[in-house]
Structure 1
């Protein structure tokens, strides 16, 4: 790994390609949660890798690489959210009668791809807050500061994201 990083610092294409291949799947698993589609996730990931290669000098080789990369990927996804924020329209999902039972059974039977597909159905605002809170472990204050929204908006978006995900699951699986 150190050799690959050193090669990336020297702008060696071969090393950059190796690093990209090593962490492509890991990066996609992150970007898919923030993106509307696989194509958008790949675009965000490619942008993130460009930032990695541009800023590889800032990486401290005495620290683990993966968390450094993860932070760049998440920040790039957030930047993409900010770019598209003006285009976004938040829509409320119609109220659906809640069907009880079988939830645990259904959730345990879902594949990773099915879960990602459902998360991608959320509006970008809901999806971003959901990912930052549930997956990345951000606090609402951190989310509010990062996305330049009110703390109450962060909490509201998370609640609506959870409600919408529940409706999506019920519509598709129950």
Structure 2
């Protein structure tokens, strides 16, 4: 086991005892990464900062329930994502349910991008999409959620998750085409 692993576990255990110094250490370790995740969902740095702060308040209130089944970073990340999704739901983002027969699936094999395309370019293109596509694309492509998890988190059907993903991929592809990246 690494020294960092033991140090992080010590910080978590101290946080469970309401040790303010440990809480600050945990916050310092993860705040930047969690802000970046929040920003992917809400697009606005001020809102992302609020989401991150609110998520850490939840983290410290519920840290005693952390069992170590996943890393502390993954556990915090889940809280940040849920915080952002709750915020977006409050903004009344509509994820329109469609019939499965209306699905048009793009052929992923025809996705060839130019060599100069970076992750930042793709993330920027995703962020320019409508919220209903951006959220599902982020959850699926970046966070690694499957359609069942997305459906549970967003309270939609798996069919809707799949359709939003496919439509989002098509819009993303068109966005990248507009700049000659595809």
Segments of 5+ residues of structure 2 without an aligned counterpart are 1-7, 97-109
**Structure 1 counterpart of 2:176:** 169
SS in 2 for 1:73: helix
1:10 and 1:53 map into 2 onto residues whose CA distance is 10
Is the Cα–Cα contact under 8 Å of residues 54 and 83 in structure 2 kept in the other structure?
Answer: yes
Say if 2:77 is the partner of 1:77.
Answer: no
RMSD: 2.7
Is the Cα–Cα contact under 8 Å of residues 95 and 156 in structure 2 kept in the other structure?
Answer: no
Give 1:19 deviation, angstroms: 1.0
Among candidates 123, 141, 152, match of residue 159 of structure 2 = 152
Say if 2:143 is the partner of 1:131.
Answer: no
Segments of 5+ residues of structure 1 without an aligned counterpart are 91-100
Among candidates 108, 113, 116, match of residue 109 of structure 1 = 116
**Structure 1 counterpart of 2:101:** none
**Count of paired positions:** 161
2:126 and 2:41 map into 1 onto residues whose CA distance is 8
2:10 and 2:151 map into 1 onto residues whose CA distance is 39
Is the Cα–Cα contact under 8 Å of residues 30 and 74 in structure 1 kept in the other structure?
Answer: yes
> Structure 1 runs of 4+ off > 6 angstroms?
none
SS in 2 for 1:104: coil
Is the Cα–Cα contact under 8 Å of residues 122 and 164 in structure 1 kept in the other structure?
Answer: yes
**Structure 2 counterpart of 1:142:** 149
Q: Please, what TM-score do these two structures have when normalized by structure 1?
A: 0.76
1:102 and 1:142 map into 2 onto residues whose CA distance is 25
